[in-house]
Structure 1
Amino acid sequence: MSISIPRGTQDILPGEVEKWQLIEAKARELCEKYQYQEIRTPIFEHTDLFSRGVGDSTDIVQKEMYTFEDRGKRSITLRPEGTAAVVRSFVEKKMFGLAGQPVKLYYMGPMFRYERPQAGRFRQFVQFGVEALGSNDPAIDAEVISLAMNLYKEMGLTQLKLIINSLGDKESRTAHREALVNHFKPRIGEFCHDCQNRLEKNPLRILDCKQDRDHELMKTAPSILEFLNDFSKAYFEKLQHYLTQLDIPFEVDANLVRGLDYYNHTAFEIMSNAEGFGAITTLCGGGRYNGLAEEIGGPETPGIGFALSIERFIAALDAEGIELEVNQGIDCYLASLGEEAKDYTVGLLQQLRLAGFSAERDYLNRKIKAQFKAADRLKAKYVAILGDDELKNNKINIKNMATGEQVEVDLGSFVQYFQGLKGEK
């Protein structure tokens, strides 16, 4: 009986994985420029972290988490998102006491959600995200947004749309919450079961419902922007000022609420406008989460962050027809004729690699013609040909695959000569 891959997962094969590596490398490069440092947290955490941190009323906690009981009878969950774990580490390792504040972190790795697989959505997916903890300055909200936008732009994406909203502070949200309950309560029976449950727990989540999004009450629901107090208004206006200063176009969407309970003040999403990208256009989402650190046992700590899916990043590149140069070819392929020459290339290959070159040789006893074909497949810039006769004479031939030029050099100085050849390019 054959064993197939679990539904909602994928194998990322050579030829494709290089795209991932390029995106990951660019993300790390940008984080270094922005002074964000990498953090790696466990793939599984205590379930309580997510039920308290992400929110009991969210779809993630109610429907999508991979939760199991370990041998110690503890409830464990495969991480469905990255922020809660990063903040847990921030609190547990007392990073709030570090001299350098705010603490700016990034992460990259697999997340797990049990949801219906579809284009761009998997049950195991890879997220890149950043978190900035310890600052209430709207300028750092703008910085976080600019990091995400610049990552997409530097990889070539142009069909992007940034939408922002303010969820306000606690006072603003409380007033808005009361207005939402009063708005939906008389006709809540017309909404789905989930929305009925959300009415008292978190009515803001009703606005994020996909099933009832066309209901007439959705279109007339009170906007959070109508309930922002003076502080929340000033904060949101300052964020818009900074985005304009950074030359980042944006749209304000009062219906943007995000799917996690811990957000307040700034909320944002970056979407793809590329034709044919699909029904789910969101590439990246994030926002401010003042209060999350306290929720999981830490001191009062403001925070802001985002997360993006690498899978959807690649889908957006494909939708815009952007080809990443993922195979630059190897520096040298060692072709051999004869047993003694073939044996000698084992050590010669090692010398090339230790000198810093990408190199390969034949392992299938192929004829010389087939070895050249293999060199072509690997996009070798040079092929070094060593036969038994050349080995006896301490010689080796080097062929430039772009020009067809071929030279014979002393075998003993081959690596040094090759270094000179590469140095000329």
Structure 2
Amino acid sequence: MTNVPSLDLTQQYKIISEQLNTKIQEVLASGRYIGGSIVDEFEQQFASYINVSHCVSCNSGTDALFLALRAVNIRPGDEVITTPFTFFSTAEVISAVGATPVFIDIDPQTFNLDIQQLESAITEKTKAILPVHLFGQPVNMTHLMAIARQYNLIVIEDCAQATGAEWYNQKVGSFGDIGCFSFFPTKNLGAFGDGGAVTTNNPAIAAQVRMLKNHGQSAKYYYEQIGINSRLDTIQAAILQIKLGYLDSWNEQRRNLANTYHKLLEDITAIVPPQELSGSRCVWNQYTIKLKSQELEATIKSRFSSSLRDWVRTQLQNKRIGSAIYYPIPLHLQPVYKSLAYPQLPTVEQVCHQVLSLPMFPELSTPQQEQVIFALKDCLSES
């Protein structure tokens, strides 16, 4: 039995290493390591890929979200509706600009925010909606944008895990006022370090983001606002340029892997596989199952004093199968938000105890997937 990692970036590097090494050496020899034509070219290429007018690169996906909120003047006293089931930065940036994150519960099938609960969360303080296309699964943007227009709300899409995903043949990051992307190495389009980008069709927003990311400068040494230092390094832009050319094929490989997982999991009643909505083209940054069996849950708890999910993950580790938990604690229950006394959100609170992400990366082989499922079946039969 071989080791099956949750993620392996080394195989991808081997495939394109010659191109990458050549490009990196060109950047190093140029002496231009911040900004320059390579960054400009990548921004243009990424804007074209998302099919928007403007792309402004920055230092991280977190900075992209922060800059987006600043650019549309979200400030203290404002409320921004978002999901509690995501990485912390989604809510963190809302708090960082002084606004209040308002969490609504999630759809148990897609893990995205439950749009049926969206309207009831809107108040006179609501200024924006921040949907997250979690695990590469697009939010129903048709429904969400209709509500946003009805209430004149700003929409900032968190596309960190969904570069290349589509909702009815339109890429995420092109629906709302702003799209925010992360190029963290584990993402579908990953750099060799941190990186991010903001996309928009609004030239005023693009100009504002560009100013804010460079210390609030309108021209060199002329500061109109308090900004931050959030530049995408030239070497990362060069790497992303090359990888962007492979992104669609890598995403298609992810989709094929997801379909294989779907088939292999069909007869395991204790596992609920993730579902793709009609009209959605998911890019499967993660393949996240739910372990859901009251009978097995009770058995494992009585025998091992553990949840079914945690016990299965430990057994997979013993069988050298990688997995990950995204996310063990919903954001409304995080210690930092305890003082805000958010109401209970029963679906996400339950899901956080059930989810387990299986190995997922484009180079994952069918035999490796079969090994993962064999190990899962073995774990469940042992229980």
TM exceeding 0.5? no
Which structure has the higher relative contact order (CA within 8 Å, separation 6+)? 2
TM-score (norm 2): 0.23
Decide which structure has greater strand share: 1
TM-score (norm 1): 0.22
